Structure 1
Amino acid sequence: MRPLRYAINVTLDGCVHHEAGLPPDADSMRFWTAELERADALIFGRVTYRMMESAWRRPATGAWPEWMDETQVPFAEAIDRARKHVVSRTLTEVDWNAAPLTGDLRHAVERLKQEPGEGLFVGGVTLPLALANLGLIDEYVFVVQPVLAGHGPTLLAGLRESIRLELVERREFGSGVTALRFRPGT
């Protein structure tokens, strides 16, 4: 069975807003690129899908935008070519190498996990909460930013039951960012 990995940037006070942390450096961009490349497919909710598409979809010209530096191009290429599944009640059409994930969320994700491959990746805020509440996440990756945001959406706010996690990997970057990988424990 393919594992479902949830990965997200989070500040020290638990904020998961995409602009609350440090600007990405070369180390963190390499880390995020490797995370995407470990996945056979990405699963996004509507909001995350649209946000990622607006930032990382290759423009029709074929040239990456000028704001993107050389450390971001491998990430952009990885996410642009990745297979994507989009969970949404309101979005009826998707493209960007994506397909809607329809029907009962638990059953749809369980079917994806049963397919052969290395793993699935989920990002965002709302969808991962639903998946955590269903017990479907096999690995949690928190890229901890040494920042106190003081406001914004927080990590897994509304979780119905606590989930005990076991630390399986810790990586520190020169910027002070720490990537922590956990698996649900017993």
Structure 2
Amino acid sequence: MRPLRYSINVTLDGCCHHEAGLPPDEEAMRYWTAEMGRADALLFGRVTYQMMEAAWRKPATGAWPDWMGEWEIPFAEAIDAAKKYVVSSTLSEVDWNAELVRGDLGHAVQQLKQESGEGLWVGGVTLPSALADLGLIDEYEFVVQPVVAGRGPTLLGGVRERIELELVDRQEFRSGAVVQRYRPVGAAA
């Protein structure tokens, strides 16, 4: 069974808006590129899928845009090539190496987890809250940015039950951001 990992950038006050933290630097992009390597597939809700596609899909020209630094290209190539599953009740089709996930969320994600491999990676805000409520997340990875946003969507807002976690890894970036990786208490390592 492959684990489901939830990874997200978050500010000190719990904001998860993608523009609320520090802009990514070379160290952060190397880290996220390595994280893509730990996943067989990515699981997104509609909003996150469309946001990631707009930012990281390779243009039809075959050349990455001029605004992208050389140090961002390995991440762009990794996410562009990754298999993606999109949970959406409003999209009728997806592409970008993706397929729609329909029906009962818990059952569908359990089926994906049953497949062999390194793991599934989920990002975003709304979908991970639903998956946490269903007890389907095996690892929580927060890149805590040294910023207080003061507004925006918050980490796991609306989760119905308390989820006890244990710290399993911690890493500091030169920027002051801190990666904190947790597993639910009692989960297998």
Q: What is the CA–CA distance in structure 2 between the aligned matches of 1:133 and 1:175, rounded to whole Å? A: 32
Aligned to 2:40: 40
C-alpha separation between the residues in 2 aligned to 1:159 and 1:103?
A: 21
Q: Report the residue type matching 2:144 in the other structure.
A: V
AA aligned to 1:132 is A
CA distance in structure 2 between the aligned counterparts of 1:70 and 1:168, rounded to whole angstroms: 32
Give the 5 Å matches for 1:141-152: 141-152=141-152
Q: Which residue of 1 aligns with 2:60?
A: 60
TM-score, L = length of structure 1: 0.99
Q: 3-state DSSP class of the match of 2:86?
A: strand
1:56-135 aligned within 5 A: 56-135=56-135
Residue 40 of structure 1 aligns with an amino acid whose one-letter code is D
Unaligned 5+ segments in structure 2 are: none
Distance 1:126 1:65 in 2: 30
The one-letter code sitting in structure 1 at the alignment partner of 2:171 is R
More deviation, 61-70/7-16: 61-70
Residue 10 of structure 1, CA deviation: 0.1
* CA–CA distance in structure 2, aligned partners of residues 151 and 103 of structure 1: 33
TM-score, normalized by length of structure 2? 0.97
Deviation at 1:67, TM superposition (A): 1.0
Backbone CA RMSD of aligned residues: 0.5
- Overall identity of the aligned pairs, in %: 73
* 2:170 aligned with 1:162: no
- The residue that corresponds to 1:18 in the other structure is 18
For residues 124-159 of structure 1, the C-alpha deviation after alignment (integer angstroms, 9 at most, x for no partner) is 000000000000000000000000000000000101
Cα distance in 2 between the residues matched to 1:6 and 1:35: 11
Partner Cα separation in structure 1 for residue 71 and residue 18 of structure 2: 18
Q: Distance in 1 between matches of 2:42 and 2:130?
A: 16
Supply the distance in 2 between the matched residues of 1:155 and 1:66 (Cα, whole angstroms).
33
Cα deviation for residue 37 of structure 1 reads 1.1
SS at match of 2:79: helix
Q: 1:34 & 1:93 partners in 2: Cα distance? A: 29
Q: Tell me how far 1:101 sits from its aligned partner.
A: 0.8
Report how many residues are paired.
186
For residues 43 and 111 of structure 1, what CA distance do their matches in structure 2 show?
A: 13
1:95 aligned partner, one-letter code = D
Separation in 2, partners of 1:159, 1:100: 24
Cα distance between partner residues in 1 of 2:68 and 2:6? 25
Counterpart of 2:104, as a letter, is: D
Which residue in the other structure is 2:30 paired with?
Answer: 30
Structure 1 spans left out of the alignment, 5+ residues? none
| 2:139 corresponding residue in structure 1 | 139
Following TM superposition, by how much is the alpha carbon of 1:103 offset from its aligned partner in structure 2, in angstroms?
Answer: 1.3
User: Deviation per CA, 1:134-185, whole angstroms, max 9, x where unpaired?
Assistant: 0000000000000000000000010101111110110001010111110001
SS of 2:70's equivalent? coil
